[in-house]
């Protein structure tokens, strides 16, 4: 039998490795920015074109590389971060595998300019698909500049899986946030298609959060600080009243490395128990410093998941620390049963002096004396009769219109209510359709062959969905103008999403004006959207657009209609009267698709007479 196992060529092995390391342009951004931080940079520039598909460039002022290091950096498993296997448990750097640059160079056109200190000339290197095109001496400033162009140019199948430019830009922005929030001592600049999106100066952590998410974010933050032998915890929580229905600003950092941990997130949620609704999610920026020996960060290719030696202890410390912080800053309501409110001094009387009260007594007053009122002890009572002489003159010229010809049969009285039928059996509607509500969740109605059980929430979602979709399609939405405009605050990233879908929002009935980089003014809403829920509706829409959603107009309109129908639909537990039940049933079966909800879930089930008969066999 012939030998069938062969070694893969280097360029094929690099492409396979790239499948784990580089999933989209945001992965390139993460790797390059982490390398810049490991190089000791104090200023990092990120330049993006067309969602990173055309260009991802990172420029730093770090140590730079020599001519030999520049060439070796693109080889597989070439790194300066570790020397032996034991170093994996003493990691204080971002990258350590030595696969990032090799993987990127295998699937893109890469151009590098780099120069270390105390050297007059730097190195210019160009690689295309793992092949070195040229390497030469060049004039370049201190530090390193790496430009990654035409990502996945030699793997068209992978390139076709990329989303629209807007979606890819949002993923890049998320990675930028994660790196920038972990290092407030480094200045960052972010440019997209020639325009500046972020300019983050060197500052403290609180100001870095405010610069990234907007000026009004400062009032939402509650500081967290605790230091134990196991872990040191610092950062900020968002106040409970600012919890969102979607997972918004949730960041965990362990040794300045962003991680995802459902286990630690559960600790945060349990600390907010009783302060927020079960459907809401708290925001947090939490930084954990632990001994590098107690964690393993080499369990996932993207290094966003780590393993703790003692997760239960970290969980308990984190939960108690957050509860203490919420209580310390008077966020948690507390009752003081020993406090006596009667001893409190009103605010207006705090600075006043104590005065002796004066009591004036008229010793000669006799209430039974006839001359008491004449002495002036009392003013004339307001109820005392005035002179009534000549009262008849008030009715001169008025004739009574009530005579024998007056017909009292036409008069109606508020108390004239017929109550004779109050205990009689209620008559069926004229339509002959009988409906009733079951457990405030289902509507049961009859049909010729039996009965139908309808989920009231899903039915209303389908009705609203088709109505919003129709209005957006024919551009015939009606808006209700607000007497007082609503001013809503969003982050820069959210504002960019609102700008992207603004035309479709207007088609649904929203009237808005973006007045600032982090503020939107709402002057009109769709008829079915109450002004109290405008902020929640927009936040939910923006949160969904953070997900994998294409940027074409149809999908945007579809997602908007689904969001509005989900938010505004009748919820389980709501009591509906007979008229509302019948209207819901009639509107449902007037829809084009009445069987499934906008989220492809069944709306009703049919129980025939035969099905009922079988139960009695």
Q: What is the DSSP string of 176-210?
A: HHHHHHH-TTSEEEEEETTEEEEEE-S--HHHHHH
Q: How far is residue 32 CA from its own chain's centroid?
A: 28
- Fold annotation for 10-200: Heat Shock Protein 90 (3.30.565)
More confident residue, 167 or 461: 461
pLDDT band at 448 (very low <50, low <70, confident <90, very high): confident
H helices present in 161-310, as ranges: 165-182, 205-213, 262-271
pLDDT of residue 551: 47
Mean pLDDT across the stretch 434-442? Answer: 90
Average pLDDT over the chain, rounded to whole? Answer: 81
Q: What are phi and psi of 262, to 5 degrees?
A: -65, -30
* Residue-level pLDDT at 587: 92
Q: How many CB atoms lie within 10 A of CB 277?
A: 10
Residues 191 and 214: their CA atoms lie apart, in Å, by 18
Whether 239 contacts 217, CB under 8 Å: no
Would you kindly state where each structural domain of the chain is located, as residue ranges? 10-200, 208-328, 442-604
pLDDT surpassing 90 at residue 191? yes
Max Cα–Cα distance, the chain, nearest Å = 139
Q: How confident is the model over 337-377, as pLDDT tens digits? A: 666 666 666 666 667 777 777 888 887 777 777 654 554 44
pLDDT in tens, 101-120: 888 998 999 999 999 988 89
pLDDT of 425 > 60? The answer is no
Topology annotation, domain 208-328: Ribosomal Protein S5; domain 2 (3.30.230)
Among 12-16, 450-454, 514-518, which stretch is predicted with the lowest mean pLDDT?
A: 12-16
Q: How far apart are CA 236 and CA 325, in angstroms?
A: 9
pTM, 2 dp: 0.71
Contacts of 502 (CB under 8 A, 6+ apart): 512, 514
Q: At 430, is the pLDDT very low, low, confident or very high (cuts 50, 70, 90)?
A: very low
Tell me how far apart the alpha carbons of residues 358 and 252 are, in angstroms, rounded to a whole number. Answer: 67
| pLDDT above 80 (res 429) | no
Both tokens of 38, joined, read: 């490991």
Compute the distance between CA of residue 52 and CA of residue 137 in angstroms, rounded to an integer: 28
pLDDT of residue 500: 80
Average pLDDT for 233-239: 94
Q: Name the CATH code of domain 442-604 (choices 3.30.1370.100, 3.40.50.300, 1.10.15.40, 1.10.238.10).
A: 3.30.1370.100
Report the pLDDT value the prediction gives residue 89, as an integer from 0 to 100. 60
Interior angle at CA 206, CA 205 and CA 212, nearest 5 = 90
| Whole-number CA gyration radius for the chain | 37
Distance CA 132, CA 75 (A): 11
Cα–Cα distance for residue pair 215/209, rounded to 1 Å: 9
């Amino acid at each position: 039998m012939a030998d069938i196992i062969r070694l893969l060529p280097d360029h094929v092995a690099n492409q396979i490795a790239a499948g784990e390391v580089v999933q989209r342009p945001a992965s390139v951004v993460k790797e390059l920015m982490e390398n810049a931080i490991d190089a000791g940079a104090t200023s990092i520039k990120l330049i993006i074109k067309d969602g990173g598909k055309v260009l991802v460039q990172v420029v730093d002022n770090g140590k730079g590389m020599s001519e030999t290091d520049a060439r070796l950096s693109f080889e597989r498993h070439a790194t300066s971060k570790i020397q032996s296997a034991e170093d994996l448990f003493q990691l204080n750097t971002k990258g350590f595998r030595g696969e990032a640059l090799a993987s990127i160079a295998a699937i893109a056109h890469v151009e590098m300019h780099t120069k270390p200190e105390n050297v007059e000339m730097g190195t210019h290197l160009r690689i295309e698909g793992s092949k070195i095109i040229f390497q030469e001496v060049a004039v370049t400033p201190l530090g390193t500049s790496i430009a990654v162009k035409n990502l996945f140019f030699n793997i068209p199948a992978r390139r076709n899986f990329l989303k629209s430019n807007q979606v890819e830009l949002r993923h890049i922005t998320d990675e930028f946030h994660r790196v920038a929030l972990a290092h407030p001592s480094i200045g960052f600049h972010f440019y997209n298609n020639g325009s500046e999106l972020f300019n983050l100066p060197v500052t403290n952590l609180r100001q870095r959060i405010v610069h990234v998410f907007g000026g009004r974010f400062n009032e939402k933050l509650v500081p967290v600080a605790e230091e134990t032998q196991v872990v040191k915890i610092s950062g900020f929580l968002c106040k409970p009243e600012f919890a969102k229905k979607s997972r918004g600003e949730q960041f965990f950092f362990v040794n300045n490395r962003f991680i995802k941990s459902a286990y630690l997130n559960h600790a945060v949620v349990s600390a907010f128990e009783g302060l927020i609704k079960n459907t809401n999610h708290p925001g947090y920026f939490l930084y954990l410093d632990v001994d590098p020996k107690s964690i393993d960060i080499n369990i996932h290719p993207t290094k966003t998941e780590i393993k703790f030696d003692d997760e239960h202890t970290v969980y308990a410390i984190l939960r108690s620390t957050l509860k203490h912080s919420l209580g310390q800053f008077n966020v948690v309501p507390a009752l003081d049963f020993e406090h006596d409110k009667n001893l409190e001094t009103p605010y207006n009387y705090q600075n006043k002096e104590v005065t002796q009260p004066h009591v004036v007594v008229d010793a000669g007053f006799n209430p039974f004396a006839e001359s008491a009122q004449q002495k002036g002890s009392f003013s004339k009572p307001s109820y005392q009769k005035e002179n009534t002489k000549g009262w008849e003159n008030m009715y001169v010229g008025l004739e009574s219109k009530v005579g024998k010809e007056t017909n009292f049969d036409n008069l109606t009285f508020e108390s004239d209510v017929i109550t004779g039928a109050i205990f009689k059996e209620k008559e069926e509607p004229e339509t002959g359709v009988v409906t009733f509500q079951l457990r405030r969740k289902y509507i049961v109605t009859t049909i010729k062959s039996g009965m139908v059980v309808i989920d009231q929430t899903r039915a209303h979602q389908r009705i609203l969905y088709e109505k919003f979709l129709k209005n957006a399609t024919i551009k015939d939405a009606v808006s209700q103008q607000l007497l007082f405009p609503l001013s809503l605050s969003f982050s820069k990233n959210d504002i960019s999403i609102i700008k992207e879908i603004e035309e479709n929002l207007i088609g649904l009935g929203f009237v808005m004006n973006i007045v600032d980089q982090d503020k939107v003014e709402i002057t009109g809403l769709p008829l079915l959207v109450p002004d109290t829920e405008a902020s929640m509706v927009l936040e939910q829409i923006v949160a969904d657009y953070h997900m994998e959603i294409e940027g074409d107009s149809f999908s945007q309109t579809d997602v908007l209609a689904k969001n509005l129908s989900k938010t505004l639909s009748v919820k389980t537990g709501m009591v509906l009267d007979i008229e509302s039940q019948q209207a819901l049933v009639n509107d449902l079966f007037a829809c084009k698709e009445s069987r499934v909800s906008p989220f492809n879930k069944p709306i009703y089930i049919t129980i025939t007479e035969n099905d009922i008969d079988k139960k009695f066999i």
